[in-house]
Structure 1
Amino acid sequence: MSGVVPTAPEKPAEEGENRVEAPDPRPDNPPNYKSHCVQGPPGPAVPPPASCPGGLPMRFYSPQQPSTFPLYQPTSGIDPIQYQPGKHPMPNQSAPITWMPGPTLMPNCPPGLECLAQLDNIHVLQHFEPLEKVTGFETNNRYDIKNDLDQMVYIVTEDTDDFTRNSYRTLRPFVLRVTDCGGREIMTMQRPFRCTCCCFCCPSARQELEVQCPPGVTIGFVAEHWNLCRAVYSIQNEKKENVLGVRGPCSTYGCGSDSVFEVISLDGVSNIGSIVRKWNGLLSAMGDADHFEIHFPLDLDVKMKAVIFGACFLIDFMYFERPHHNVHQDRSRQ
């Protein structure tokens, strides 16, 4: 009996046949899902981080590895939204302002005048101030400078104190600051005070405008000449040498028609360009919201273009800036 090794008791055959095995939780084949994602272009190769020397498995996302799927996939027929430089909404305006694209730097061109060098005509649009018409209080003038495509080129703002504006009115000395789409002051125009008590033929009574670009660097002058019948100006360089002339109409207060100031050569034969004050109906007759259109040759020296541009504002203040009536005088006449 000592040489017999005990063995485990055998199970009945019926018990092994009726045994049910548990199902395998892993499916044989993965289900076929239809993905709605669109495969994008492969991203740039990124080396694996130092924490994972073996690299990352495929399709594994981590903050160090950019995703291979694009963040935005535009649908067919719809253009993506593009934000153009210089196009931004302005305060108190419902529609955004579209600026003229800024050109590259040009040789022999003062900084900021690159846009003016590529134009042969510009529009000067004065802002209408309803409060000024109601109260009679003179405010600083503001102008929008646009091209033929209705794109903004510059913004011109008057910088004069309240006492000077309301005391001297149309004869006031002023400073006009010209800014571009980035808010930089690229040009300054200064009109000194001239005494009008003297005779009109006296040189001290003639109006003058200095154009600086950049501010502090004089590039030209606009000088008035005495004439009995019409407005006459000279376009001068920084040395006050006459380069061009401006000849106005015999009557600048015409109703129902444009007022044309011709830009002519020194001999008076060639017509170089023009400064036209457009007639805009009742808005021109009742409100200080003038519209000027300036024409000059495309290949004209950009400095002379800037001086002609400044002559437009001197003409506006001298002939089309309507003085307000004194309220006390109006009451005394009643």
Structure 2
Amino acid sequence: MAIYDLRPWLSTPGTITSCPPGLEYLHQINQLIVCQHFDPLGALRKFETSKTYEILNNQGQRIYFAEERNNCFLRRLCGFSRPFTMTIYDNVGRDVLALHKALKCSCCWSRCCLQKLLTLDEEMVIGKISKHFSGSVRGILTNGEKLEIQFPFDLDVKIKALMLGATFLIDYMYFELWP
């Protein structure tokens, strides 16, 4: 696990009853920003060993660090359909969440369709996931691309964690430039 000290960490919150350990950070926020670290050497070689991300609050403080683990052969062979495990760590290096994506084959048509997640009654919106494009090659070649997650303050932390996981899945399925 490689944790970059590029941004300040948010201080560790106290224990909150009925909140899974490590998700206490999510209790006190209504927005997350997910920034992928770009490896220029990996892009030139067309071979990245794993993707890494910083997960920030709206003040730019790091809340979590995420790292993808996958099989590099399947990464090249399967592209966005590949299986992977994304582990999310807190500021002391503790595993907070582990997201697992199975190998799924899909045709090009399913990747082009827009998807949405609402409550069953489709009346209550639980959040918004958006991608901010910098609009330049410089933004792509640096850490300029960001995914933003917004949700109500009082939303259950487990649903906030679910939205964080959905953000990684959306990024891999729709926005990944190269596997």
Q: Same fold (TM over 0.5)?
A: yes
- Seen in structure 2, the aligned counterparts of structure 1 residues 110 and 124 have a Cα distance that, compared at 3 Å, is same
- Root-mean-square deviation over aligned CA pairs: 2.5
**Percent identical residues:** 36
Alignment gaps of 5+ in structure 2: none
State the Cα deviation string for residues 299-333 of structure 1 (Å, max 9, x = none).
11111110011000000000011136xxxxxxxxx
Higher helix share: 2
The CA deviation string for residues 96-141 of structure 1, in whole angstroms up to 9 with x for no partner, is 6411111111111100000011111011000111112212113311
Alignment partner of 1:153 is 2:7? no
TM-score by length of 1: 0.48
Q: How does 1:1-334 map to 2 (within 5 A)?
A: 97-196=7-106, 229-232=113-116, 245=117, 264-283=118-137, 286-287=140-141, 289=143, 290-323=145-178
Q: State the alpha-carbon separation in 2 of the partners of residues 282 and 319 from structure 1.
A: 18
In structure 2, relative to structure 1, the CA distance for the partners of 1:154 and 1:133 (3 Å cut) is same
Runs of 4+ in structure 1 over 4 Å off: 226-229, 283-289
Cα drift, residue 165 of structure 1: 1.6
Other-structure match for 1:214: none
Provide closer, same or farther for how the CA distance between residues 283 and 231 of structure 1 changes in structure 2, counting only shifts above 3 A.
farther
Residues matched between the structures, number:
176
> Quick one: which amino acid aligns to residue 37 of structure 2?
H
Distance 1:288 1:318 in 2: 21
Structure 1, 267-276 or 98-107: larger mean CA deviation: 267-276
> How far apart are 1:195 and its partner, in Å?
2.3
Residue deviations 1:260-286 (CA, integer Å, cap 9, x gap): xxxx33222333320010121214874
Structure 2 length normalisation: TM-score? 0.87
Structure 1 pair 117–105 and aligned structure 2 pair: CA distance change class (3 A): same
- In terms of Rg, which structure is larger? 1
Deviation at 1:154, TM superposition (A): 0.2
1:141–1:227 CA distance, 2 compared to 1 (3 A): closer
Unmatched 5+ stretches in structure 1: 1-89, 201-225, 233-244, 246-263, 325-334
Code of the aligned partner of 2:76:
N
8 Å contact kept, 1:288–1:322: no
**Greater RCO structure (CA 8 Å; 6+ sep):** 2
